[in-house]
Amino acid sequence: MDYAISMCQKSRIWLYRDLTAHPFLQYLAWVALPMCLILFQLDLNICHCVPLISKVIGLTCTLGSGMPLGKEGPFVHISSILATILSKLVTSFKGIHENESRANEMLAAACAVGVACSFAAPIGGVLFSIEVTSVYFAVRNYWRGFFAACCGAMVWRLLGVWFKNEETLTAIFRTNFHIDFPFDPQELIVFAGIGAVCGLGGAFFVWFHRQIVHFNRKHKRMNAFLQQNRFIYPAVITLIISTMTFPLGLGQFMAAELTTHESMNELFSNVTWSNRHLEVDEAIIVSHWTTKYTNIFVNLVVFIIITFLTTTLAATLPVPSGLFIPVFKMGAAFGRLVGECMASWFPDGITLGGSVNRIIPGGYAVVGAAALSGSVTHTISTSVIVFELTGQMSHILPVILAVLIANGISQALQPSIYDSIIQIKKLPYLPPIVSTSSEAHNVYVADIMVRDVVSVWRGCSYKDLRSILKLKKRLQFFPLVESLESMILLGSIQRIELLRLLELQLGRERRLQEAAKRTQLSESPKTPRTEKKPSRFEVVPVVSSTRNAPRPGQESIGNTPSPKCSPPPSPVATPKSPKKSFLRYSPVNSPYNTITSLDARLKQAFENVFKKALTDPFEKFESSVPSTPVTKRSQQPRILVDMSPEELLAWEEDQLNALVDFGKCHVDPAPFQLVERTTLIKVHSLFSMLGLNYAYVTAIGRLVGVVALKELRKAIENISSGLFITNTNHFGHGEKSEPRLKHNPSARTIMVLLCNNWPSINLCNC
């Protein structure tokens, strides 16, 4: 993928540079390739290709087009798909796939592999995946994530050495800062300021991205027009982004001719761009960030603004992409801008204790990259990722300080970009309970649970089961009780298991078996047939030369010994008309004809001759005319015997009246249960730690209600808004219900991303 992405980006730059004499053709070449790649990727999605293939090809096209997007989100999705496929195919992983808890642990390790392979940062990848995907992490899965991430990152870097002719395993954005005095203690104030500004910038980025999405959804007419053709909106956005980054336009002020990898290397370079005495290599780097109209400061500001706008626009495209890399690049540019300003203000460095320490603008770029990416994602592990990307830990204190400050500010203002996308797409989530809320301690599960529970019971018929499944089409789990009177909870059954029971009882296979059985009973002879023993020879009736006129007195005879004949192997005689010509014509004037050893040899000879001609050798003897054409063998289609409509209705009625045998399906004998007096705080903690989707509420073994993620989330939101009302309505858990609010709240709710049901969460735009 990296090779294909690099070739697409380089080919775009080659086309632009080869058409120097034709500016209009340069613009067409700069715009045409990204648009073709984006539209091709959309065509893959419309054709419903295999998700793994579509994700790999789509990500290659997206990044190869030069769109300001990343790859960590799709890499996490790809690794999760591979983990799911392995758990289904590998025999030793079958138990993991069937166990939901173990499957989530495998997906957590897969997420760590995806992040580690994106940045070649196994340690930071594991920590980043833990922070983003889970509230409570199982420590037993810690070493699995590290082991898988290390293996993935090592293989990726080794492939780079083998196929890209790299010298050895090095950091992706290798830096060479001075280790003795990387920064002065007085610079910590500036680093803290970078963290504060990045915190505000990260919150503004999340807010602006959400406003663009809401703007697109709010205008109904524009939505209706764009939905008529899926290619219009991506084509327009791609055209706008390509035009904004065109090197002869605004692109000349933001080093548009550089790839992401090249621009990051130059931003992290240990070169002071504002220095007047530059070497040849340093002058080449500075030439990319200056023009005859502007200097490095203007170009860096333009780079930040244009990247901010294009990234938020590109994030709305329906393509596999991530947002970490473009945000990381914006933070590096902002840090570089602050570092160059400090180098210009203090050209001789900062004096402390008689020693002079020069300013390192590249260190400021590292701090800015970690701070802005951490504020957008609400993670601290970005500092570790930065250390692994650059290969140096000389600025560990400034990086951690800036990341902590940026996180504190952004978390107080906006949710993370991942939580914001969950809110936009209305995916399942569990908001945290405000620590200062005392109302949550006075709310019990009995106040929020659903009392009208739909359940199945022992002794119910298949007709009742089918009615329940039709009535509640969205429920995925049904409680199994002893009876509707006692409501003693026995377990929980998945919907798919109940559907399988109905299929076994009323399916096509069972119906055809019953029809065949009835047909066999109706066509069976009244006198019982005696089983024939194996005979040394076969005795069959002799058929007359006239095809439709059998000889009188013709009948089947059982076992008659013949001591003069060798016993050739022959099948047991059947009452059907014989197919072999030697059995139909016999020179012996007798009502019976036997196959002797001589006849068997003649039969074999004729079969060998006519088999080569692929014709039926026995048709020749059915007519005295030698020129009669022979025909090829044809297999008759199998005739399936089915019931008549009246018989089918009667049979289905009998089958539906039968009692359900729950022993034929898997029943969870110990579903998670709560008591009525469990507080909302405890329920929230249990749902968060165990990754629950629902829990049954029991009283001395009796099922009295059920609480699902939806009821819990709504109760927490109502408490946070001060609008909580004790639940008096009865809705089926998982079903669509009316909101229990006095009015629609406008307060913002901070959300967290759950590890539970990870495959169902779409991270294409994360």
Residue 671 CB-density burial (10 A; 0-12 exposed, 13-18 middle, 19+ buried):
buried
Higher pLDDT, 737 or 550: 550
* Cα atoms in the 13 Å half-sphere on the side-chain side of 710: 15
- What pLDDT score was predicted for residue 642? 66
- What pLDDT score was predicted for residue 599? 54
Residues in a beta bridge with 70 = 322
Higher pLDDT, 353 or 679: 679
Let me know: does 701 contact 488? Beta carbons within 8 Å.
Answer: yes
- pLDDT tens, position by position, 190-228: 999 999 999 999 999 999 999 998 888 888 777 777 777
**Residue 534: pLDDT band with limits 50, 70, 90:** low
Q: Is the pLDDT of residue 667 over 50?
A: yes
Pairing of strands 477-481, 456-457: parallel
Let me know: does 111 contact 141? Beta carbons within 8 Å.
Answer: no
CB neighbour list of residue 109: distance below 8 Å, 6 or more residues apart: 83, 141, 144, 145, 148, 149
Cα 431 to chain centroid, rounded:
24
- Calpha distance 348→355 (Å, rounded): 11
Q: Is the pLDDT of residue 404 over 60?
A: yes
- What pLDDT score was predicted for residue 208? 94
Instruction: Quote the mean pLDDT of the chain.
Output: 76
Q: Is the pLDDT of residue 608 over 70?
A: no
Q: Is the pLDDT of residue 403 over 90?
A: yes
- What pLDDT score was predicted for residue 122? 86
Record the tokens describing residue 531, joined without a space: 């089983």
- Calpha distance 584→545 (Å, rounded): 8
Q: Which range among 83-92, 297-306, 320-329, 535-544 shows the weakest confidence by mean pLDDT?
A: 535-544
Q: Is the pLDDT of residue 489 over 90?
A: yes
Q: Is the pLDDT of residue 564 over 50?
A: no
Q: Which range among 107-111, 282-286, 352-356, 743-747 shows the weakest confidence by mean pLDDT?
A: 743-747
Q: Which range among 68-82, 154-168, 409-423, 528-542 shows the weakest confidence by mean pLDDT?
A: 528-542
- pLDDT tens, position by position, 579-603: 444 334 444 444 444 444 445 555 5
**Residue 703: pLDDT band with limits 50, 70, 90:** very high
Average pLDDT over residues 421-433: 81
- What pLDDT score was predicted for residue 718? 80
Q: Is the pLDDT of residue 309 over 90?
A: yes
Pairing of strands 489-494, 539-541: unpaired
Distances (CA, A) of 544 to 369, 547, 583: 99, 7, 11
Q: What are phi and psi of 390, to 5 degrees?
A: -90, -20
- What pLDDT score was predicted for residue 538? 52
Let me know: does 668 contact 693? Beta carbons within 8 Å.
Answer: no
Average pLDDT over residues 342-347: 86
Average pLDDT over residues 613-620: 43
**Residue 750: pLDDT band with limits 50, 70, 90:** very low
Q: Is the pLDDT of residue 278 over 70?
A: yes
Q: What are phi and psi of 357, to 5 degrees?
A: -115, 120
**Residue 617: pLDDT band with limits 50, 70, 90:** very low
**Residue 327: pLDDT band with limits 50, 70, 90:** very high
The helices-and-strands tally (H runs, E runs) of the chain is 28, 10
